[in-house]
Amino acid sequence: MSDVREHADDIHEQFSDHIDVSVDEIEDRLTTLVDEYKVPIDEARRSVTNHYLEEADLEREELAGGSSEDVRIEDVDEPEQWIDLTAKVIELWDPRSDAVAQVGLLGDPTGTIKFTKWAKSDLPALEEGGVYELRNVVTDEYQGRYSVKLNSTTVIEELDEDIEVGNDTSVVEGALVDMQSGSGLIKRCPKEDCTRVLQNGRCNEHGEVEGEFDLRIKAVVDDGIDAHEVIFDKEATEELTGLSLEEAKEMAMDALDTTIVADEIAEDIVGTYYRIEGPTFGRYVLADDVEELDGTVDAEDLLIKARSM
């Protein structure tokens, strides 16, 4: 069976209870995108899935994702995966949208993760301090931070037990030797609860959109033993560089080039030693607390060394 046919079968399984569409029809749409328009198969699948979501008047989180896998929080390293979690509610926060019933922080022995429960999912309320088995939740990612979303297909079972929550905070001390692609002034998808970074004006999920500007740094920090990938969100980037989002937008407008922002930031921070503390999500450390240390280095030499490890 071809890759296109396998993807068509998967999509058909997701939508078979919602709309009348055959596997052949789905395969034809995928084939057109892949063969005629040279769209990568993953993007073609997202595009076709979005088409049928609109036709079925469904939200992505309402779509069954097939069988879900029982995982630990530290193993969440990819968006749009359907999983089962056993976790403790560490904190509940005030929702910022009427579409959200609850939002907060879950934890298990391997770490913590943000959760969102949609208002229209009509699920029972989670209590702070409670331990739950959460079946069929979907993962999401924003600025390297993974989260899970509880939806209308999620099953919640409260457990009469307690679990110890692990500490996933990392501390990295070393030289910032490189800024990766996707740093500086970027644009994100404006759709509610998406915020994916646009590539050539396109969101992987929603297609061509008018993006919203954001600031971030994707850095490589070498501690002399390992090279660590560190993400600075807008607040951390502004604090580190002294450059606000508005100033970055003005700088790009004056130069008619958004890449000038990344170039200016790199000139200021590459080759500088930092102590960085923050949670680890997948392969990334997310910078919460940053302290500049004494000393400078030849960033190019260290980067060559880091890449050879």
Give, for all 309 residues of the chain, the pLDDT tens digit: 578 888 888 888 888 888 999 999 999 999 998 888 888 787 788 788 888 888 888 776 666 555 567 899 989 988 888 899 999 998 888 887 888 999 998 999 988 899 999 888 889 999 988 999 999 898 988 767 789 999 888 899 999 999 888 777 889 999 999 999 999 999 988 887 677 788 888 887 788 888 999 999 999 999 988 899 999 999 999 999 999 999 999 999 999 999 999 999 999 999 999 999 988 766 788 899 999 998 665 556 555 554 554
Pairing state between β 82-93 and 69-70 = parallel
Angle at 254 between CA 253 and CA 259, to 5 degrees: 65
* pTM given for the model: 0.55
**Which residue ranges make up each domain of the chain?**
1-63, 73-159, 169-299
pLDDT (0 to 100) of residue 296 = 61
Q: Using an 8 Å Cβ cutoff, are 131 and 88 in contact?
A: yes
155 DSSP β-pair partners: 135
